[in-house]
């Protein structure tokens, strides 16, 4: 049998070459000079350097929100003006000359949904037993719901537009 020693030995086998450490040295691997600013800024260096990008992204988002709010406000005003203008009827033949007396409607009893219009041939005055209804200044048309019972207006509700009411009770 071969001589097997169980005690550790400091001698190397002649067939095995000495192996160097992966860094090939010891103290000579340390840095003699500290590198310029990059390595000594610490853990927040990236955060500090991205400040301009964060300001750009935040500013762009803020401007986008402001533009969206302004656009929404403008569109809401546009829709209100469009609704206020209302739809004007288009006639194949232009309406003949209509006098102011021909554009008056008398309503004595019952419930109805009535309309007022600035342009002929629409009605510009509605006469109820106890009041007169006219289109308010600056409006093209209006619609009202009215109920008259026993010579008295029981219900008057403006559905669209605006009207001026003149009481005619005696």
Same domain, residue pair 121 and 162: yes
Print the domain residue range for 78.
45-85
Per the CB < 8 A criterion, the answer to whether 144 and 114 are in contact is yes
Same domain, residue pair 145 and 116: yes
CA 15 to chain centre: 82
pLDDT reading at 4 higher than 60:
no
Q: Would you state the pLDDT for residue 169?
A: 76
Same domain, residue pair 114 and 153: yes
Same domain, residue pair 104 and 77: no
pLDDT reading at 26 higher than 60:
no
Q: State the total domains in the chain.
A: 2
Same domain, residue pair 150 and 111: yes
pLDDT single digits (tens) 57-97: 999 999 999 999 999 999 999 998 888 776 666 666 656 66
Same domain, residue pair 104 and 163: yes
Cβ-Cβ contacts under 8 Å for 147 (sequence gap 6 or more): 110, 111, 112, 153, 154, 155, 156
Supply the pTM of this predicted model: 0.44
Cβ-Cβ contacts under 8 Å for 106 (sequence gap 6 or more): 126, 127
DSSP H or E segment with residue 47: helix 45-49
Same domain, residue pair 151 and 123: yes
pLDDT reading at 117 higher than 60:
yes
pLDDT reading at 118 higher than 90:
no
Residue 58 burial by CB count (10 A; 0-12/13-18/19+): exposed, middle or buried? exposed
């Amino acid at each position: 049998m071969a001589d097997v020693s169980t005690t550790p030995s400091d001698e190397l086998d002649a067939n095995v070459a000495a192996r160097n450490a992966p860094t090939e040295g010891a103290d000579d691997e340390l840095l003699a000079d500290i590198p310029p600013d990059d390595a000594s800024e610490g853990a927040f260096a990236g955060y500090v350097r991205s400040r301009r990008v964060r300001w750009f992204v935040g500013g762009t988002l803020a401007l986008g929100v402001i533009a969206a709010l302004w656009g929404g406000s403008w569109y809401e005003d546009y829709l209100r003006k469009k609704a206020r203008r209302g739809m004007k009827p288009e006639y194949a033949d232009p309406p003949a000359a209509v006098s102011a007396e021909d554009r008056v409607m008398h309503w004595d009893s019952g419930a109805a949904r009535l309309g007022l219009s600035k342009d002929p041939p629409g009605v510009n005055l509605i006469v109820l037993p106890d009041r007169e209804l006219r289109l308010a200044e600056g409006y093209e048309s209006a619609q009202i719901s009215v109920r008259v019972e026993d010579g008295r207006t029981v219900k008057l509700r403006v559905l669209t537009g605006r009207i001026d009411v003149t009481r005619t009770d005696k």
